[in-house]
Amino acid sequence: MKALSRSVIPTRWGKFEIVAYGTDYNDPMPHLALIHSQQQEQENVLVRIHSECMTGDLFESTRCECGSQLRKSFEQIAEQGGIIIYLRQEGRGIGLIEKLRAYELQDAGLNTVEANMELGHAPDERSFDLGIQILEDLGIRSIRLLTNNPEKIKAIEGSSIELKERIPLIIEPTKENQDYIQTKKNLLGHMLD
Out of 48, 63, 92, 124, pick the active-site residue: 124
Active site residue 124: yes
Question: Would you state the torsion angle of the CA atoms of residues 130, 82, 4, 31, taken in this order, to the nearest 10 degrees?
Answer: 40
pLDDT at 165 (0 to 100): 95
pTM of the full structure:
0.91
- Out of 57, 126, 141, 144, the active site residue is 126
89-105 pLDDT, tens digit per residue, is 998 899 999 999 999 99
Per-residue pLDDT 10s for the chain (193 aa) are: 899 999 999 999 999 999 999 999 888 899 999 999 887 788 999 999 999 999 999 999 999 999 999 999 999 999 999 999 999 999 889 999 999 999 999 999 998 899 999 999 999 999 999 999 999 999 999 999 999 999 999 999 989 999 999 999 988 888 887 776 776 766 666 777 7
Chain-centre distance for alpha carbon 78: 17
Residue of 155, 152, 158 lying closest to 73 (CA atoms)? 152
For residue 187, what pLDDT is reported?
64
Q: Give the pLDDT of residue 189.
A: 61
Give the domains, in start order, of the chain with CATH numbers: 2-89+127-186 (3.40.50.10990), 96-125 (no CATH)
193 is known as an active-site residue: no
